[in-house]
A and B are shown apart, each in its own frame.
Chain A
Amino acid sequence: MDIGLSGFIKKLPLVSLPVIENLQISPGAFVLTVERISDFLPGQVVALSTDDKIAPRLYSICSAPDNEYLQVLFSLKPDGELTPLLARLKPGDTLRVSAPFGAFLGDDRPAWWIAAGTGVAPYRAMMLAGLAHNKKLIHGGRFANQFYFQDEFLDCLGESYIRCCSQETGDGLFSGRLTQWLREQVLPSEISFFLCGSVEMVVETRDILISKGVDIDNIMSEVYF
């Protein structure tokens, strides 16, 4: 069990909000919806817990900044402390939520958004905020059912939405890890690269980008701490 950083976000003031919806969108993946009581910028995170005895953890907001609701995407970690409790939440149950914070922010400049698993969450918020017009999204997952919000991304990004699936093959999927896809590309110059996911993905992807000549000034990383 990980009892790390997020276990001690105790000093962040959390407010109690009723759960509006807890929707399983794929095996083991849920979108949790509460009322939005603060403004936020696309790419920011909130700390969540079910009560004061459970250590809060950080989750990227995946909903639009102007939506009356606030949504987060999480995947169930069966041996984790918090996500099994989150997965059991029903409408009307109480969720403890911090104010939004963080500086992994989307903008209007051309960029590639790169994500693994639930790391796609901040890009959905950015897309819903209208920031996707000059972006390419490269999303890596082990299985075909882990490309969360793929219908929305396909509608918005079309061929600029690349799904890299490492354990299955399927229509429209690149067969292999996202790092393999990246190694095969000629990268555009003068754009930004946003990376969001596990430290293993971020470090490996960052190394590939740097080896292909991308300046570190153009690489922005968000790690699942």
Chain B
Amino acid sequence: MEKPALFGQTLSEIQSIVAELGLKPYVAKQLTEWLYQKHARSFAEMTNLSLSVRQILDEKFRLGKSEPSRVQASSDGTKKYLFPAGSRGFIEAAYIPDEDRATLCVSSQVGCKMGCLFCMTGKQGFQAQLSAGEILNQISSLPERENLTNIVYMGMGEPLDNLLQVMKSLEILSANWGYGMSPRRITVSTIGLVPAMKHFLEHSEAHLAVSMHSPFHDERRKLMPIENVYPIADVVEKIRAYNLGKQRRISFEYIMFKGVNDSPRHVKEIARLLNGMRVRINLIRFHPIPDTPLESSDDDTIRQFREGLLKKGFRTTLRASRGQDIFAACGLLSTKELVKLQAPDF
């Protein structure tokens, strides 16, 4: 059986481990410094720990970091990294450099359970939850780690369907004993898992991005089965009831599908649904995937849609498509070809 990983444990968890091993309490702080601030990749590097302590740790634990096994580079500078996720498959992370910032889009699950009609990750089904360490490893083992300004949980999987591990990773990212990153530089996306979203809003300071894609119940549930359980109107109502303060950003993601969700009627309904809320709307071009009847709206329609929302008073942006040539753009991440075939239940 594989030894448990130390990387991805919170300070309090490491304090418990240190106590159980009978080590001095200050070793916990030394360990978090090596893991999250000095970026150690082996126990041998932890030179302010005695040799005997390092041997004890090495006997009981593995460090838990792994290098990317493949990288693809886009003509626009985007890079897509493939990371192993133990014996359960692979995940992808997209590094997106820009003029004044560099964003890493991290995965939270191997595959996804949500089954959205427009998403390539959903095509591979669900294989496994990632641990906090496996989520953070995408950051820690990134060659461009020092350049990163922003982290977005928008890669493979539904982050709030892996709430415990995502929350742990957020704690480690933002804690002074961890990476010390401002939560205002972190965005977590969700398709609107209401109970988990409430937990996230109450226990994290990171930004939230909600995948809307249609303001109409009957239309959205054909695109996103989750609408049957947690309708977008309930999602918005829950967010509206929460005091978000001035610094925290809530955005609604909206992929533009030709002839499906790109009409003035949709602008009007979005405005009605979000009336009075201080939110941002991100329009996204649809990046076609196999076996889908959906197409992207044309540029003129997207422009008119954006102008319509701006006139209604909503800050509305059009997200640039990055890394499309290496299948790193929104909705295209997938490791389906690397999934070990499991016997289906049907």
Q: A117-B346, A200-B125, A200-B344 are in contact. Are A225 and B114 (CB under 8 A)?
A: yes
Shortest Cβ gap from A173 to chain B (Å) = 13
Q: Say yes or no: B114 contacts A199, CB within 8 Å.
A: yes
Q: A197-B346, A203-B115 are in contact. Are A101 and B229 (CB under 8 A)?
A: yes
Q: A5-B193, A200-B344, A210-B291 are in contact. Are A102 and B125 (CB under 8 A)?
A: no
Interface flags for A15-44 (1: CB within 8 Å of B; 0: not) read 000000000000000000000000000000
Q: A3-B162, A177-B344, A179-B346 are in contact. Are A206 and B117 (CB under 8 A)?
A: yes
Bound form: Cα–Cα A9–B195 in Å: 5
Q: Say yes or no: B129 contacts A2, CB within 8 Å.
A: yes
Question: Which of chain A's residues has its CB closest to B292's CB?
Answer: A210
With a CB–CB cut-off of 8 A, which chain B residues contact A7? 163-164
Interface flags for B153-164 (1: CB within 8 Å of A; 0: not) read 000001011111
Instruction: Choose one: B162, B294, B345; the contact of A117 (CB below 8 Å).
Output: B345
Q: A201-B345, A210-B293 are in contact. Are A4 and B195 (CB under 8 A)?
A: no
Shortest Cβ gap from A150 to chain B (Å) = 15
With a CB–CB cut-off of 8 A, which chain A residues contact B196? 5, 8
Shortest Cβ gap from B161 to chain A (Å) = 4
Question: Which of chain B's residues has its CB closest to A166's CB?
Answer: B346
Bound form: Cα–Cα A170–B115 in Å: 32
With a CB–CB cut-off of 8 A, which chain A residues contact B293? 210, 215-216
Bound form: Cα–Cα A147–B196 in Å: 33
Instruction: Choose one: A207, A217, A223; the contact of B225 (CB below 8 Å).
Output: A223
Q: Give B98-120 interface residues, CB cut-off 8 Å to A.
A: 111-115, 117
Q: A103-B217, A203-B125, A219-B222 are in contact. Are A197 and B345 (CB under 8 A)?
A: yes
With a CB–CB cut-off of 8 A, which chain B residues contact A217? 222
Q: Say yes or no: B129 contacts A4, CB within 8 Å.
A: yes
* In the complex, A10 has a CB within 8 A of chain B: yes
Instruction: Choose one: B112, B195, B227, B344; the contact of A8 (CB below 8 Å).
Output: B195
Q: A103-B228, A199-B114 are in contact. Are A166 and B291 (CB under 8 A)?
A: no
Q: Give A182-225 interface residues, CB cut-off 8 Å to B.
A: 197-203, 206-207, 210-211, 215-217, 219-225
* In the complex, B3 has a CB within 8 A of chain A: no
Shortest Cβ gap from A5 to chain B (Å) = 4
Bound form: Cα–Cα A202–B196 in Å: 23
Shortest Cβ gap from A220 to chain B (Å) = 7
* In the complex, A65 has a CB within 8 A of chain B: no
Bound form: Cα–Cα A207–B226 in Å: 18
Q: Say yes or no: A207 contacts B291, CB within 8 Å.
A: yes
Shortest Cβ gap from A119 to chain B (Å) = 8
* In the complex, B126 has a CB within 8 A of chain A: yes
Q: A199-B113, A207-B291 are in contact. Are A140 and B158 (CB under 8 A)?
A: no
Q: Say yes or no: B113 contacts A223, CB within 8 Å.
A: yes
Instruction: Choose one: A11, A12, A58, A199; the contact of B126 (CB below 8 Å).
Output: A199
Interface positions of A (Cβ within 8 A of B): 2-5, 7-12, 45, 58, 101-104, 116-117, 140-142, 164, 166, 177-179, 197-203, 206-207, 210-211, 215-217, 219-225
19 contacts between A and B (CB under 8 A): A3-B162, A5-B160, A9-B195, A11-B195, A101-B229, A102-B228, A103-B227, A140-B345, A142-B345, A164-B346, A197-B346, A200-B345, A203-B125, A207-B291, A210-B291, A216-B222, A217-B222, A223-B226, A225-B226
